[in-house]
Amino acid sequence: RKKIGIITSGGDAPGMNSAVRAVVRAAIHKGCDAFAIYEGYEGLVQGGHMMKQMKWEDVRGWLSEGGTLIGTARCAAFRERWGRLKAAKNMIVNGIDALIVCGGDGSLTGADLFRAEWPDLLKELVDTNELTPSQIEGYEHLTIVGLVGSIDNDMSSTDATIGAYSSLSRICQSVDFIDATAYSHSRAFVVEVMGRHCGWLALMAGIATGADYVFIPEQPPSATGWGDEICSVVSAHRKKGKRKTVVIVCEGAIDSDLNPISAVDVKDLLVDRLGLDTRITTLGHVQRGGSAVAFDRLISTLQGYEAVEAVLDSTPETPSPMIGIHENKLVRTPLVDAVALTKQVATAIKARDFNRAMSLRDAEFAE
């Protein structure tokens, strides 16, 4: 009888609760025991009351709840080997032999490391008499399955991360509100949205709301020319009779010299050069909150069920999978590959090698 632990880790994302609900219920349906591990990896490191067996009714009503009800945390200890050693011990002591982690690329990198280290961790636990050889019997193979929960949509090997469309909807709704007041006063608004390294939210929100201009880290404008360019675009729109201006700035926006471009920089420019009455709206944590949109409820439910099936399919030979969605179908990718590819894309973007970043992204689902 498999005992499956479910963790939500890293930044919270709408849909995490429905993922937990799906995992708990699919596990029970398939004759397994399900354990919620509270506060991300902190719950694994601390063990005890932070791991709780879940019944079917414990997740009732969780489909429509925002955030994550089992908590999440940044756990420094899990970045250290001693922390992962404690986590391994706590899992074995509680009989948990499979882990489903719902989190962003950081959390899944940690999960992949834990999986790779597992045999060494067990050996050390026995060598230091923390556990007896008979206690580790049956735990030689750790199954880890990744679910991608992140509002940024910044993970390779999936078209959409759980939470990204909820966040995008919230941003669009907020920009609609801003549009109304901008139009009334004929003002300009610079809207800052989340995404430290990934401009998906900013770009999609720009398209969905018809913004005048969008700044994303993947396509930095010329360090010396971006001011002229945005001014000419905005004034052309104004000349055509547009009464409002909306510029979306991704948190991680940079220019071609890698200098950050902030909402304040853009506002100052619009005021000084075009004389526009300009305000800044930083959407902040409003983008994370609230209940998940239907799409996120759907993918988290289907992927949660798929994750439990992947646990049951797993053998010592099969690599730990990450569950993604590609062209409307659920896909399993080796977690190690997805993590490596995500890193390569981030490195290419940091090195301003955008052609490489694009070709890596194009290649992620290549046969």
Positions that interact with ligand ADP (CB under 6 A):
9-11, 41, 74-75, 78-79, 103-107, 109-110, 113, 150
The catalytic residue among 12, 97, 112, 152 is: 152
Q: Does 150 count as an annotated binding residue?
A: yes
CB of 80 to ligand ADP, least distance (A): 8
Q: How many other C-beta atoms are found inside a 10 Å radius of the C-beta of residue 5?
A: 27
CB of 277 to ligand ADP, least distance (A): 37
Among residues 104 and 221, whose Cβ is nearest to ligand ADP? 104
Distance CA 250, CA 191 (A): 8
What is the DSSP secondary structure assignment for residue 149, as one 8-state letter?
B
Among residues 155 and 247, whose Cβ is nearest to ligand ADP? 155
Q: How many other C-beta atoms are found inside a 10 Å radius of the C-beta of residue 222?
A: 12
Among residues 77 and 280, whose Cβ is nearest to ligand ADP? 77
Q: Which residue is nearest to ligand ADP (CB)?
A: 106
Q: Does 53 count as an annotated binding residue?
A: no
Among residues 69 and 77, whose Cβ is nearest to ligand ADP? 77
Q: Does 286 count as an annotated binding residue?
A: yes
CB of 65 to ligand ADP, least distance (A): 19
3-state secondary structure of 192: strand
Q: Which one, of 288, 349, 353, 277, lies nearest residue 68 by Cα?
A: 288
152 assigned to active site: yes
Q: Does 104 count as an annotated binding residue?
A: yes
Q: Does 74 count as an annotated binding residue?
A: yes
3-state secondary structure of 99: strand
Amino acid at 32: C
| Orientation of helix 164-185 relative to helix 294-313, angle to 10° | 160
Q: Give the pairing of strands 329-334 and 321-326.
A: antiparallel
Q: Where are the alpha helices (DSSP H) in the chain?
A: 16-29, 41-46, 81-93, 105-127, 133-136, 164-185, 200-209, 226-239, 263-274, 294-313, 335-350, 354-363
CB of 349 to ligand ADP, least distance (A): 16
Question: Which residue positions form the known binding site for ATP?
Answer: 11, 74-75, 104-107
Which residues make up each annotated binding site for Mg(2+)?
Answer: 105
Known binding-site residues equal 11, 74-75, 104-107, 150-152, 187, 194-196, 251, 279, 285-288
Catalytic residues: 152
